[in-house]
A and B are shown apart, each in its own frame.
Chain A
Amino acid sequence: MLDDFFVRALIAGIGIAVMAGPLGCFVIWRRMAYFGDTMAHSALLGVALSLLLDLNLMVAVFIVAAAVSLLLLFLQRRGALSTDALLGILSHSALSIGLVIVAFMTWVRIDLVGFLFGDILAVSESDIDIIWGGGILVIFAIVYLWRPLLASTVNPELAEAEGMKPERARLFFMLLMALVIAIAMKIVGILLITSLLIIPAATARRFSTSPEIMAVLASVIGALAVTGGLFGSLHWDTPSGPSIVVAALALFVLSLLPIGRRRLETASHSTPGGHH
């Protein structure tokens, strides 16, 4: 079964969606969508460096994405420019440096479109091991860090006052993001990783009554989007990344329909105080 490239892509994609769910929730709760984009864009610099220095692709992308997020933390502390300006600079600079380095390396032929938009043909069996190994690591880390992460999302000062370490939680969160980006890059593509984080989480919001439910639901919705998108990609011969994003968008639009909304309203009206 696993010989089949499509089944490999499916297993890999679902693994990615499962770990992207809870992380994506934090991305939208903490309003870090653009931050996630910046880290993802820097992945192309990681790709270029891995080719140049003959490093493992995922390791190089992880290191570069983590380095960019640390650089951003450092620049934010210095406070010379606003965060969104810094993100804009880092995001597109990292992407462009990556593209320029790749262009200079005339001796290697790389499928740039595959890196930018994902390629379901690119998933090998060893990739699946890494994806599920990494995925289990990410899930364990999130479960372990859940309380400090959630508390510092609600209010970092409150978390710190009551004995948690919001800065440390934030650092671990960024490392997890870097890990997910490194793992997800092949299937979803550098330019679209953030949407796999955000869209399923945003879809899950309307049906969730607690942060935990939203995290699980985001994983489930992400897995549905990956499945739908990959089937579409196979059927119409479209790049896998955009196909998955379109499928995720379709689910999001479905969640906006009155049926879903009415269910949510009934749920909140049945609680005392849900109507104000």
Chain B
Amino acid sequence: MLNFRSPETTPLVRLNNAGVRRNGRWLVRGVEFSISPGEIVTLIGPNGSGKSTTAKTAIGVLKADEGYVERKSGLKVGYVPQKLAVDWTLPLTVERLMTLTGPLKGREIEEALSSTGVLHLAKAEVQHLSGGEFQRALLARAIARKPDLLVLDEPVQGVDFSGEIALYELIKQIRNRTGCGILLISHDLHIVMAETDTVVCLNGHVCCTGTPQAVSQSPEYQKLFGRRAASTLAVYSHNHDHTHLPDGRVLHADGSITEHCYPGDGHHHDEDDNVHDHGDDCGCGHHSRLHGFELKEKRDA
């Protein structure tokens, strides 16, 4: 395997303590990570934990209300949004969808469509596609523009399990062939693409970051998913011991509610459970230092 990451490459995108606030509430806060060329970063986290918000902030669709985002100048992004509904009144074939944001040669369109396995649907209207087919068409559109950074918001939603494995393999090939950086949002809390270099777990803030462990190392998962899948998927094991309530308070695993979630307050699980590295703003309770998320800040939010 080629390693595209080298210390001298400047990152495509870097988020520095980025936070986004809407209607007086922080959607996500204190996010720090970067994506280098050839690097695959996967965001995981429960619903409403700020995964899509973080991805949109990274590519400039949302502006950070605190902290800042550095982007390489002239960064070319290929984006597959989480939800995309094309109104039935708009006659749009898969082929026409491909050149939505920029012109492409016929050969480039064909290559991209056949690489995601939907070349036979080129003339079909997008409204007639199944969820999985549409997802592949959107992925083809994003890669056809040869982006520096590919942002995929739950790219395997609506795709069946073997399709999911195939798409992950395709994403890996795209990375290896083009050397683009990839920001992936996973719909699964524990299973990520095996090629992921960095997993960022969000829960309104960066809960923890780390590297996944290949499923193939775990016999139980291997049995569960089969051998082909086992080389494509990886587990990211971690425990969430608290939930962020809408009002900013924190519900802990033992049922108690506190104003904040910083570790060392007696609500967190044992160090022994720890299999991952920690981000600075980790709320997992594994590390000894207290960071961020103080009482005052939460009340502000």
Contacts and interface: CB of A to CB of B under 8 A. Distances in A.
Interface string A45-89: 000000000000000000000000000000000000000000000
Given A157-B79, A210-B92, A274 B86 contact: no
Nearest to B84: A155
Contacts of B133: 273
Contacts of B237: none
Given A268-B125, A271-B124, A274-B125, A158 B90 contact: no
Interface string B87-121: 10111110011001110000000000000000011
Contacts of A208: 91
Contact of B89 (A28, A151, A160, A164): A28
A274 B91 contact: no
B135 to A, nearest CB: 14
- State the majority secondary structure of interface residues on B: loop
A29 B124 contact: no
B159 to A, nearest CB: 16
Contact of A273 (B87, B89, B90, B129): B129
Contacts of B125: 209, 268, 274
Interface residues of A, number: 33
A55 to B, nearest CB: 37
Contact of A159 (B96, B97, B101, B151): B101
Contact of B128 (A160, A211, A214, A274): A274
Interface in A136-164: 147, 150-151, 153-155, 157-164
B91 A214 contact: yes
Contacts of B101: 147, 151, 158-159, 162-164
A157 B84 CA distance: 10
A68 B92 CA distance: 32
A143 to B, nearest CB: 14
Contacts of B81: 155, 157-158
A153 B100 CA distance: 10
Contacts of B130: 276
B123 interface: yes
Contact of A160 (B60, B78, B91): B60
Interface in B120-172: 120-121, 123-125, 128-130, 133, 145, 151
A29 B90 contact: yes
- State the majority secondary structure of interface residues on A: helix
A271 B123 contact: yes
B61 interface: yes
Given A151-B100, A210-B92, A273 B77 contact: no
Given A28-B89, A154-B92, A162 B121 contact: no
B56 interface: yes
B96 A210 contact: yes
A256 B97 CA distance: 27
A31 B87 contact: yes
A272 interface: yes
Interface in A183-210: 201-202, 205, 208-210
A209 B56 CA distance: 32
B124 A211 contact: no
Interface of A: 28-29, 31, 147, 150-151, 153-155, 157-164, 201-202, 205, 208-211, 213-214, 268, 271-276
Interface of B: 56, 59-61, 76-79, 81, 84, 86-87, 89-93, 96-97, 100-102, 120-121, 123-125, 128-130, 133, 145, 151
